[in-house]
Amino acid sequence: MSEKKEKTGRVPMPEQDPNVRKRNFQEVPTGYTPAMAQEEAARCVQCKKPGCVEGCPVSVDIPGFINLVNKGDFTAAIRHIWSMNALPAVCGRVCPQEIQCEGKCILNKKGTPVAIGNLERFCADYEREHGTGALPPTAAATGKRVAVVGSGPSGLTVAGDLIQKGHSVTIMEAFHKPGGVLVYGIPEFRLPKAIVAQEVNFLERLGVEVRCNSVVGRTVSLDELFEQGYDAIYLGVGAGLPSFMNIPGENLIGILSANEYLTRANLMKAYKFPEVDTPIPLGKHVAVLGAGNVAMDSARTAMRLGAESVKIVYRRSRDEMPARAAEIHHAEEEGIEFMLLTNPVRYLGNEAGRLTGMECLKMELGEPDASGRRRPIPIKGSEFQIKCDLVVVAVGSGANPLLTQSTPDLKLNKWGYIQADQETGKTSKRGVWAGGDIVTGAATVILAMGAGRAAANSIHKYLTWGW
Amino acid sequence: MFPIVTREEMAQGTVILNEIEAPLIARKAKPGQFVILKANEEGERIPLTMAETNPAKGTITIIYMVVGKSTALFRDLKVGDGYQDVIGPLGRPTHVEKVGTVLCVGGGTGVAVLHPITRAMKEAGNHVICVIGARNKDLLILEEKMKAASNDLRICTDDGSYGHHGFVTDVVKEVLAQTQVQQVVAIGPVPMMKAVCNITKEKNVPTLVSLNPIMIDGTGMCGGCRVSVGGKTKFACVDGPEFDGHLVNFDELNLRLKAYCTEEKQCYDGYCRLAE
């Protein structure tokens, strides 16, 4: 590598070859070596007013940890990140860095921002593989008890923050395994489940109790939790209600919500069927509706399960696709087709009730809509049919009413999401906080963690000083 | 782990009863609600409506027919063994009120689900007529319990080996012709529920059915359990499992239940070969 290139270009992270990885479930990028990490860290110019920190929803001191990587003190680097972000191994892998830290990096003006996500991931992985396993110090026990409902990114953040402040923390998870969307939603090839398990184990070693199979709202109510002696409750239950297209034929066999498809593949490990007992439909010709991260995850899962063709079907154009740039890039490399400006209008099936195809309309972009994106408008008479035997619907999700219906004194907004104070996460019910997708609607891991951090601070104040 | 405290074989070993220690669920469960069970690490999540709960003892009871690998795994659990995961109570409880005369119709293992509902209906002050059926006398379950839970129990077998020779629908027609019935509850195989609903629809008698479609989480998250009710899509796990039988699209439900029949057979055959 020439000296000039080292100065201007990002150090690429080695990846599995697309033609190999598109048929396996191992992680795609294989990680930096220490030398690569130090080389990349040396590219950081250590801005006085770092844009990257502003771009980070949890304000990680990015130049600070990168400086430590540059010096080769990886242990100090991970400790520095931990003081601001409890889940760096996860964030380094799944944050949309291009619109956050890396998007604000001064080197981004030349199109080659520092690979902050890769470095964050490196620090966490290095610690996992080489670390002493020493735990950070925790404050003296306060005797206060906190129940955290949901073990996704925001719940884990709240649990980690509050246990270190000396409170006793119990996490209640509805599924049989903790991790929330990190376990049921994000595939193994993007976020290995062993990493999530280790993050949860880290919290358990700090003293957090994790109770699986606990459906709060059914197994136990919020008021019962208070009766049992909990002093505060954090609700981080996620959005959790799949949206469908509401077009004819939607209940044909072979049409699954992305939640179902990914839960089968990830949580239930159905990609190993029949080694495990949960099956997953193997589509030959697969269409995935939507173009967010969940759609990319679904499409790439279908490819790994042996599909002959996988299409992303999206009603807007490439510029509006909400997925992370890296996911779109990886999907394209793996042979996923992009059928843009296309909207399904009905599903076609056979007499056995199974899906055989889909009728679609071509779209064009009109004036910007409420989201600021140009509104897709159907082109009259442009109907056409495509052949498919599996459709995964990844067009977003709504508010799951299971918990909120059983808690009438929790105020909701008109879409059914919990109303919570933006700064603190306080809800209308005394002693109850909420954050993440059940407040904002479906968003990112890091935003959920940011909400968790804010709520944890507010809960700590409440437990120390009162409501 | 959720230990099994009682195990019984019924209907010549094709139907199994497990009483399971699950105090948190037993404390909250109401008639009509279900649990999801998973035998071990690699197991499937299987939804089953509870046949009995004992809050004082902290146990719940499930009764199931062995139809595939997952239920065969359940069958092979002994007293003292346990389920790795039991989640619940899930779904909405049965709406129980005094309406007058209630006709409860059960077929196969549906009788197990019907039992607590029947008892609750009688305890609410209703006159409860019960019709239960099976293919033959040996496959009939819970006769004594159903007799105790109702005011008037009628039995049918397809082969005439016990009680009325024929389907439960014959007796349903008979009862509806003789008696003013305010409410019907029908729980059993999909074709049975459909046939009962066809009869009660004609007579305009409100009919509750309990559905058991394929599902994963049981909390409204996956949408796998969607059923068409009155032309609208409902999730059986959170909107049900009970619905107005006159509005349910049983044909669609029947097809959707077969979504994984090839995979189910592959899995079961593999398990049976292992056992040989």
- Is it the case that residue A40 has pLDDT exceeding 80? yes
Model confidence at A338, pLDDT cuts 50, 70, 90, reads very high
Least confident among A6-10, A366-370, B253-257: A6-10
Q: Tell whether B252 lies on the interface with A, counting CB pairs under 8 A.
A: yes
Q: How many CB pairs under 8 A join A and B?
A: 113
Q: Of B69, B79, B59, whose CA–CA distance to B8 is shortest? A: B79
Decide: residue A68, CB within 10 A, 0-12 exposed, 13-18 middle, 19+ buried: buried
Predicted local confidence at residue A2, as pLDDT: 39
- Is it the case that residue A3 has pLDDT exceeding 70? no
Q: What is the pLDDT of residues A279-294, one digit of tens each?
A: 999 999 999 999 999 9
Mean pLDDT of A337-364: 97
Predicted local confidence at residue B118, as pLDDT: 97
Predicted local confidence at residue A335, as pLDDT: 97
Give the separation between CA B216 and CA B43, rounded to whole angstroms: 12
Q: Tell whether B90 lies on the interface with A, counting CB pairs under 8 A.
A: yes
Residue B24: its chain A contacts at CB < 8 A?
214, 219-220
Least confident among A403-407, A458-462, B39-43, B222-226: A403-407
User: Residue written as tokens 């270190």?
Assistant: A164
Predicted local confidence at residue A86, as pLDDT: 82
At A285, give phi and psi (nearest 5°).
-120, 110
Predicted local confidence at residue A343, as pLDDT: 97
Structure tokens at A163: 């246990």
Q: Do A241 and B221 touch (CB under 8 A)?
A: yes
User: Residue written as tokens 């080659």?
Assistant: A112
CA atoms within 13 A on the CB side of A176: 27
Average pLDDT, whole number, for chain A?
94
- Is it the case that residue A131 has pLDDT exceeding 90? no
- Is it the case that residue B31 has pLDDT exceeding 70? yes
Model confidence at A233, pLDDT cuts 50, 70, 90, reads very high
Predicted local confidence at residue A350, as pLDDT: 96
- Is it the case that residue A225 has pLDDT exceeding 60? yes
- Is it the case that residue A1 has pLDDT exceeding 50? no
Instruction: Report the gap between the CA of B94 and the closest CA in chain A (Å).
Output: 15
Q: What residues contact residue A354 under an 8 Å CB cut-off, 6+ apart? A: A252, A253, A254, A389
A 177-236 near B (Cβ less than 8 A): 212-215, 218-220
Q: Do A240 and B228 touch (CB under 8 A)?
A: no
Q: What is the dihedral of CA A224, A225, A227, A228, to 10 degrees?
A: 120
DSSP states of A408-448: TTS-B-TTSPBP--TTT-B-SSTTEEE-THHHHSS--HHHH
Chain centroid to CA A396: how far?
A: 13
- The ipTM estimated for the assembled molecules is 0.94
Which H or E run includes A143?
A: none
First to last CA, chain B: 28
Instruction: Report the gap between the CA of B197 and the closest CA in chain A (Å).
Output: 22
- Is it the case that residue A6 has pLDDT exceeding 80? no
Q: Tell whether A242 lies on the interface with B, counting CB pairs under 8 A.
A: yes
Q: Do A251 and B86 touch (CB under 8 A)?
A: no
Mean pLDDT of B43-48: 96
Predicted local confidence at residue A466, as pLDDT: 78
Amino acid at A396: G
Q: Do B42 and A276 touch (CB under 8 A)?
A: yes
B 219-238 near A (Cβ less than 8 A): 219-224, 226-228, 233, 238
Mean pLDDT of B197-210: 96
DSSP states of A229-294: T-SEEEE----EEE-----TTTTSBTEEEHHHHHIIIIIS-GGGTTSSS------SEEEEE--SHH
Predicted local confidence at residue A8, as pLDDT: 61
DSSP character at residue A216: B
Chain centroid to CA A370: how far?
A: 25
Model confidence at B162, pLDDT cuts 50, 70, 90, reads very high
Mean pLDDT of A315-342: 95
- Is it the case that residue A85 has pLDDT exceeding 90? no
